Amino acid sequence: MDDNLPDGWRIETTSVLSRDGDNIGILHPATLHEIVGDEISAILGPAGRVALTEGTNYIEALSACGALLLGHREEISKVSTLLQSARMSRTTSYLCSISGNCRQVLTAVRHIQTARVAVVGCGGIGSLAAMLLAGSGIRSLTLVDNDTIEESNLNRQIVWSKDDIGQLKSDVLARELQRRFDDVSLALYPRRADRSFLQLLLSENDAVLLTADSPLGIVPAARRIAARLCSLLVTGGYSFKHAIVTVTNSQSNSAGKEGNWQSLEFCIPPSFGPANALLAGATTSALLHQLCELADYGASSIFGWDVDTLKNSA
């Protein structure tokens, strides 16, 4: 790779690009080179593929495909350290793919690491979402759920085992989170999330992820409260075969009429393991992008898909 660089330029194994000993930026560590014969014919970076035709400068081609993140010496050093850390390397590499420079990467990491997030509902979607949030670098989690683990949960809620049956979901989830991530501080609320408690959670946290399916009507009610408080709320759940994710933020409108719904006495809401994993991924991804201010979901976002076809249903 260094053969393609002008004199004085160097790319360290730590992904740092330097010129005459001065650090210029970070080369995205997922950058790919397309080799034809012994020569590099193209580079693939976050923005796409750039062909190295005659006269195309290698460094300029790296910049064009978004593979170079420039920054000051200190910023470069911090991003490089994050890329080498076992805890944050993959999240940082992803953030490098959607950031324009080292400063943006560090801002996004700081937003993630200092955010307080509440997960309301620690079942099929919420338990996995809490793991994904902690794994991505969230260090302060509040877990809200008054359910205990039942045998019928084991087929799709992958955090629990048979030994955990009868225990509170929030307790077991906290134990499993601490087993994997000892830098996460946890607050547990083994209780139902009524409106006044949701209001408290939305005002005391940077974001709330709501995956609980009871009490009925909790999602529209929470969305109205979040819009009124200008708080970040992400919800994920089902309506029959439709998986639905909503994002409410400071741009959202709190208008909307309140209705009453009633379920059957023998209600069994759908919960499908593979779709739970998709919902956990979609909700946590939306939440993290909003926290990092690296995505704009607009004023009111409801998106969803039919679980059987994965076609857009929102």
Partner 1 sequence: MAAKKKRKTAKKKRKVTKKKAAAKRAVKVRLKLTPEQEAELAKAFGKASVRRIKNISIEKIAGYLASDVGMN
Residues near partner 1 (CB under 8 A) are 24-25, 32, 34, 44, 47-51, 56-57, 59-61, 63-66, 70-71, 100-101
**Between 70 and 158, whose beta carbon lies closer to partner 1?**
70
**Between 56 and 313, whose beta carbon lies closer to partner 1?**
56
Q: Which residues contact 93 (CB under 8 A, 6 or more apart)?
A: 28, 29, 30, 83
At closest approach, how far in Å is the CB of 64 from partner 1? 4
**Between 34 and 171, whose beta carbon lies closer to partner 1?**
34
At closest approach, how far in Å is the CB of 93 from partner 1? 16
At closest approach, how far in Å is the CB of 112 from partner 1? 21
Cβ-count burial 86-123 (b if 16+ within 10 Å, e if not):
eebeebbbbbbbebebbbbbbbbbebbeebbbbbbbbb
At closest approach, how far in Å is the CB of 63 from partner 1? 5
**Between 71 and 236, whose beta carbon lies closer to partner 1?**
71
3-class DSSP assignment, residue 253: coil
Residue 106 φ/ψ region, left for φ over 0, alpha for ψ in the -120 to 50 degree band, beta for the rest: alpha
**Between 64 and 187, whose beta carbon lies closer to partner 1?**
64
At closest approach, how far in Å is the CB of 19 from partner 1? 8
DSSP state of 108: H
3-class DSSP assignment, residue 262: coil
For CA atoms 286, 168, 146, 202, give the dihedral sign: negative
What is the Cα Rg of the chain in Å? 23
